[in-house]
């Protein structure tokens, strides 16, 4: 994610603060359209007074930095992955957990329900064989154990969804989510050390001071567990990706959204790049990423290093046209990759509409054929006005 993980869902979180916890379950074929607020409203500088800002490099400490940073307005734990069953079925999954603060100051109240912290989680499963994309949302205030996060042992949860380590251990992490005949139980173990994105972990998204996040990734997490769909249980294994960010403000006023790529290649290397898009359609020069080889050596990528060609588009039934196939070029590395979604409709409609989906990768790296899998996220493409959904 990048700036990308700031889907804070401000409107929905305010609802949850008043109701304790709410759950939304959706199928891509059963959606109703919601108004899509402008990302600048959600992620702009706004009311940043009193919060810490990402305005200088810092020293990262693990496992401490797996846990919360409550002095900042927002943070997120973003897991995506591609899984295969023992019989060759392919699945994609997303579990994202967001924390954000409604006030930089603790609420002084004797009530056990009082809190200035709200959590939101998104859970999605892609089933290309069944041609179905299912997505769900839960949100809760950080009170009476409904939601929260801790550093030791690491844990973050929103109601019964979450990720964490067992007491006295750092790894593996156990990931769990279930909703409406979909259940996911996975064990995650890193194959690489955390990769600091941007400039030593300081990822700038705008020229104004503090328009940045602290950002690291674990691009390869060995993943094993079970996935249940409609009463059928599959033993699965594959690779997951963690993006981890915290910040107080990110998007500049002239930015509309971003295209984020997290690609795990068959030679053991990993590519992350996010293209920040300005409202006039231009690429923001602050767009950036990294190419990590199988030994963990990191090459930082800038806008000048990466060229992205859109080969196809997909029209959402709720309105808005998304890129739907890409060719990525990194000339200095003789790397050319074609990136194709495993299912066209992987759009989440959860207050802020965005497309986040599993992809296949084919191409050439230094003259050799290469394959891979990954995830792409696209934001800022949905119209901000309400769109009437088609009749079902």
Q: With a cut of 50, say whether residue 20 has pLDDT above it.
A: no
Mean pLDDT of 26-36: 43
What's the pLDDT tens digit per position in 288-312? 999 999 999 999 999 999 999 999 9
Q: Is the pLDDT of residue 112 over 70?
A: yes
CB-CB neighbours of 253 under 10 Å: 11
pLDDT tens digits, residue range 369-390? Answer: 999 999 999 999 998 644 443 3
Is the predicted pLDDT of residue 42 greater than 60, yes or no?
Answer: no
Coil, strand, or helix at residue 4? Answer: helix
What integer pLDDT is reported at residue 26 of this predicted model?
55
What would the mean pLDDT of 264-273 be, rounded to a whole number? 98
Asked if 346 contacts 124 with a C-beta cutoff of 8 angstroms, the reply is: yes
Average pLDDT over residues 31-44: 39
* Average pLDDT value for residue range 29-50: 47
Whole-number Å distance between alpha carbons of 298 and 296:
6
Query: C-alpha 80: how far from its chain's center?
Result: 7
For 109, half-sphere exposure in the C-beta direction (CA atoms, 13 angstrom radius) is 10
* Among 240, 250, 261, 172, CA closest to 209: 250
Could you write out the DSSP letters of every residue in 324-350?
A: EEEEEEEGGGTEEEEEEESSS--EEEE
Spans of all domains in the chain: 2-379
pLDDT of residue 343: 98
Give the residue, 39 or 192, on which the prediction is more confident. 192
pLDDT in tens, 223-253: 999 999 999 999 999 999 999 999 997 667 7
What does the alpha-carbon distance between residue 253 and residue 354 come to, in Å, rounded to a whole number? 19
- Local confidence band at 19 (pLDDT 50, 70, 90 cut-offs): very low
Tokens of 248: 């107080």
pLDDT over 70 at 341, yes or no:
yes
**Tokens at 141, concatenated:** 């205030």
The string of DSSP codes covering 196-211 is EPTBTTEEE-SSSTTB
CATH of the domain spanning 2-379: 2.40.370.10
Paired with 365 in beta bridges are: 335, 368
pLDDT band at 350 (very low <50, low <70, confident <90, very high): confident
* pLDDT over 90, % of the chain: 72
The predicted pLDDT at position 25 comes to 53
Whether the upstream peptide bond of residue 153 has omega within 30° of 0, thus cis, is: yes
Buried b (16+ CB within 10 A) or exposed e, 8-44: bbbebbeebbeeebebbebebeebebbebeebbebbb
Mean pLDDT of the chain: 87
Q: Report the predicted TM-score, pTM, of the whole model to 2 decimal places.
A: 0.89
User: Tokens at residue 115, please?
Assistant: 């809190």
């Amino acid at each position: 994610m990048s700036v990308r993980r700031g889907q804070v869902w401000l409107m929905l979180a305010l609802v949850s603060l008043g109701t304790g916890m709410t759950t939304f379950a959706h199928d891509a074929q059963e959606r109703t359209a919601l108004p899509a607020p402008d990302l600048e409203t959600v992620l702009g500088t706004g009311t940043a007074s009193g919060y810490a800002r990402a305005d200088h490099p810092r020293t990262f400490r693990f496992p401490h930095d797996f846990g919360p940073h409550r002095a900042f307005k927002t943070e997120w734990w973003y897991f995506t992955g591609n899984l295969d069953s023992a019989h060759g079925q392919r699945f994609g999954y997303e579990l994202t957990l967001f924390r954000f603060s409604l006030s930089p100051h603790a609420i002084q109240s004797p009530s056990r329900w009082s809190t200035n912290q709200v959590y939101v989680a998104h859970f999605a499963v892609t089933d290309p064989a069944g041609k179905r994309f299912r997505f769900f949302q839960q949100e809760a205030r950080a009170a009476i154990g409904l939601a929260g996060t801790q550093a030791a042992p690491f844990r973050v949860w929103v109601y019964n969804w979450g990720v964490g380590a067992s007491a006295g251990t750092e790894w593996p992490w156990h990931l769990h989510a279930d909703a409406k005949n979909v259940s996911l139980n996975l064990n995650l173990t890193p194959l690489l050390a955390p990769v600091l994105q941007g400039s030593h972990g300081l990822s700038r998204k705008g020229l104004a001071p503090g328009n940045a996040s602290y950002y690291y990734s674990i691009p390869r997490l060995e993943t094993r567990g079970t996935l249940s769909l409609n009463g059928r249980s599959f033993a699965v294994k594959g690779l997951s990706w963690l993006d981890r960010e915290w910040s107080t403000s990110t998007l500049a006023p002239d930015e509309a959204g971003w295209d984020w790529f997290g690609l795990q290649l068959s030679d053991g290397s990993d590519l992350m790049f996010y293209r920040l898009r300005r409202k006039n359609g231009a690429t923001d020069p602050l767009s950036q990423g990294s190419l990590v080889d199988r030994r963990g050596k990191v090459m930082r990528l800038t806008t000048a290093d990466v060229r992205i060609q859109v080969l196809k588009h997909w029209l959402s039934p709720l309105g808005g046209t998304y890129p739907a196939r890409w060719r990525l070029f990194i000339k200095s590395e003789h790397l050319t990759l074609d990136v194709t979604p495993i299912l066209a409709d992987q759009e989440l409609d959860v207050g802020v509409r965005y497309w986040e989906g599993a992809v296949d990768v084919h191409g050439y790296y230094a003259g050799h054929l290469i394959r891979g899998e990954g995830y792409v996220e696209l934001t800022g493409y949905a119209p901000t006005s309400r769109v009437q959904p088609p009749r079902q």
